[in-house]
Amino acid sequence: MTDWKPGASTEALRQRSELLSAIRNFFKQREVLEVETPLLCHGTTTDVFIQSFEVANASGKRFLQTSPEYAMKRLLAAGSGPIFQVCKSFRQSESSRLHNPEFTMLEWYRPDFTMFDLMEEVESLMSVVTKERDIPRFSYRELFLNHLQFDPHVISSADLQAVAEKQMDLCGKDFSDTDYLQLLMDKCIEPRMPSSCFVYDYPVAQAALAKIESDEQNQQVARRFELYAGGMELANGYFELTDADQQRARIEKDLLERKRLGLANYPMDEKLLAALGSGLPACSGVALGVDRLLMLITGNSSIEEVLAFTTDRA
């Protein structure tokens, strides 16, 4: 038996320790409070693209958290002020070069920050831990216009399908507009983007927990951003939705879609909704994959090389 051995080298583990220290020091200097929240909760995300691990015990089902977002928003609603957390997160998925079902997440929230304010802070963190500066920014619209010559916010479903079928070999018959856009982003746009860049103002259908606002073209967009680096999606940020009724409606829509797709039925997180109802301050938040960030720093091409033990070796 050889799989008792760690996948990461001792040097990679040392670099992980240094990275975690640098992250904590970054937020200490900015007077952002470090918090801890439960990893095992009654509720979980209802996002159709994210599947949770369920844990059963005598008192009922619990869920390993896919991110600490819901609990951190409850702290924000209770008046915590700016907060950050480094913790384990769990998502059901196949292990791959970039994925492990158990991974380390850095998540932080900034009251009174716009999405663009938070992008600047993400860039500041990157400059500290990777020495990368002046990361270019592109709107989602700009990328599609530049590379595929259409506006993703206004294109019809029929025209979008035609573009996708022209660009790629597709077998599916039940693709949504979001499916087509994500495939085009993955296959046609990401390979042509700079080594590091921010992408912001996503289509409304991809809002998740972000606010929807009008952009400079007077089109409704989701105020969210992603950071791409080293060919990976590294961070995902939102100008956070604070309206409890809108949040409930989005969760209900997710649950209907999960039922249609035959996915697990997750309970609505009433504690989150109660926190939003009590008054979540205007804020922006972001989740960043620490393992992928470490891959970027070390130059490793596989997540296995920066984790002591992947799920397969656990």
d(CA 150, CA 145): 5
d(CA 237, CA 228): 12
The per-residue b/e assignment along 273-296, b for 16 or more CB within 10 angstroms, e otherwise, is bebbeeebbebbbbbbbbbbbbbb
pLDDT tens digits for range 73-97: 999 999 999 999 999 999 998 789 9
Tokens of 169: 């070999």
pLDDT of residue 270: 96
d(CA 56, CA 63): 9
pTM for this prediction: 0.95
For the chain, the average pLDDT equals 95
Among candidates 278, 203, 211, which has minimal Cα distance to 240? 211
Per-domain boundaries in the chain: 10-136+235-313
Among candidates 142, 123, 119, which has minimal Cα distance to 221? 142
Beta-carbon contacts of 307 under 8 Å, excluding residues fewer than 6 positions away, are 7, 8, 100, 291
User: Residue 23: exposed, middle, or buried by beta-carbon count in 10 A (0-12, 13-18, 19+)?
Assistant: buried
pLDDT tens digits for range 236-271: 999 999 999 999 999 999 999 999 999 999 999 999
Pick the CATH number of 10-136+235-313 from 3.40.50.2300, 3.30.930.10, 3.40.50.1000, 3.90.1150.10: 3.30.930.10
Average of pLDDT values for 10-27? 98
C-beta of residue 157 within 8 angstroms of C-beta of residue 177 = yes
C-beta of residue 106 within 8 angstroms of C-beta of residue 55 = no
d(CA 182, CA 188): 10
pLDDT tens digits for range 263-297: 999 999 999 999 999 999 999 999 999 999 999 99
